């Protein structure tokens, strides 16, 4: 396990590796900033809004973003941002985590700032700009990934302590639970998938990332020196490095000096290229 950066983020989330970018990007969510790590190890911070919930690359260049209450498009440098309008007006609800499907559409889920049950949803931005509600009654919408073949979507609503699977044929179909995470292990947060279809999930409050098969078998437990582990993504030129984001939320002042840093683990597995928007 390597610590790649200083503890730069108050609430680091959503790492994304894309060959068309200078390197890895992730968010300092509640600061509204995107962080970028280039090949020299230099980190650049770009402010994009009140909240920077998630981002993914666009197939034709640039990025698609989820901000506090809606989606936005940006150029490659993230300097020119086009807001696509608010999906809701309630200031107590914000976007949280998302990803793209095999058909080039971008999803992001929401939650209440106070975490109250059922206040969130999952929203989809189609390639033409239309926004649809995919799920409602969600509490803390988190990890969303597709199997390497694209036939299954995996999804986390954190308080359920589960990873659920949906059959996917252009829409989310039948839903079933495939992984149950014990409460004493931490709460499931962000998630990624490797080339063998295994699920790597960050455990908020659990000081770890775990790897599960789609059948729910635990295959790896990666310990970190901080409790609030938020998300993970495969990166590097060979997609064989697992980048892990962390947070200082809920961490006592003066404790866990590494909290908020970016970490890297070499798990002996490879990821799949990130799905793009458009």
Q: What is the DSSP letter of 251?
A: P
Cα–Cα distances in angstroms (integers) from residue 32 to residues 65, 80, 115, 211, 254, in the given order? 11, 15, 19, 30, 24
* DSSP-based helix, strand, coil % in the chain, nearest 5: 5, 55, 45
Q: Which of 189, 194, 220, 240 is catalytic?
A: 189
Contact 165, 178 (CB under 8 A): yes
Contact 165, 179 (CB under 8 A): no
End-to-end CA distance of the chain: 35
Alpha-carbon span 103 to 18, nearest angstrom: 18
Give me the residue label for tokens 């309008």. 85
The answer to whether 80 is a known catalytic residue is no
Contact 158, 188 (CB under 8 A): yes
Tokens at residue 106, please?
Answer: 């971008």
Active site residues: 189
């Amino acid at each position: 396990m390597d610590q790649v950066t200083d503890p730069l983020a108050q609430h680091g989330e959503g790492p994304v590796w894309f060959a068309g970018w200078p390197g890895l990007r992730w968010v300092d969510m509640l600061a509204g900033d995107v962080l970028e790590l280039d090949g020299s190890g230099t980190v650049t911070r770009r402010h994009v809004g009140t909240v920077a919930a998630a981002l993914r690359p666009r197939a034709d260049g640039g990025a698609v973003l989820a901000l506090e209450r809606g989606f936005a498009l940006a150029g490659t440098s993230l300097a020119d941002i086009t807001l696509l309008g608010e999906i809701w007006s309630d200031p107590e609800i914000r976007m949280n985590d998302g990803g793209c499907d095999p058909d080039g559409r971008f999803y992001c889920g929401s939650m209440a700032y106070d975490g109250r049950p059922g206040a969130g949803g999952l929203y989809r931005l189609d390639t033409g700009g239309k926004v649809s509600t995919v799920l409602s009654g969600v509490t803390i919408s988190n990890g969303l990934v597709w199997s390497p073949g694209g036939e299954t979507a995996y999804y986390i609503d954190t308080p359920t302590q589960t990873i659920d699977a949906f059959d996917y044929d252009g829409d989310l179909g039948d839903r079933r639970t495939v992984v149950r995470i014990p409460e004493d292990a931490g709460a499931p947060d962000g998630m990624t998938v490797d080339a063998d279809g295994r699920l790597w999930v960050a455990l908020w409050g659990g000081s770890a990332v775990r790897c599960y098969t789609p059948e729910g078998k635990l295959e790896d437990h990666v310990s970190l020196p901080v409790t609030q582990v938020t998300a993970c993504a495969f990166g590097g030129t060979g997609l064989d490095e697992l980048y892990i984001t962390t947070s200082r939320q809920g961490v006592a002042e003066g404790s866990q000096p590494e909290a908020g840093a970016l970490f890297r683990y070499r798990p002996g597995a490879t990821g799949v290229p990130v799905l793009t928007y458009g």
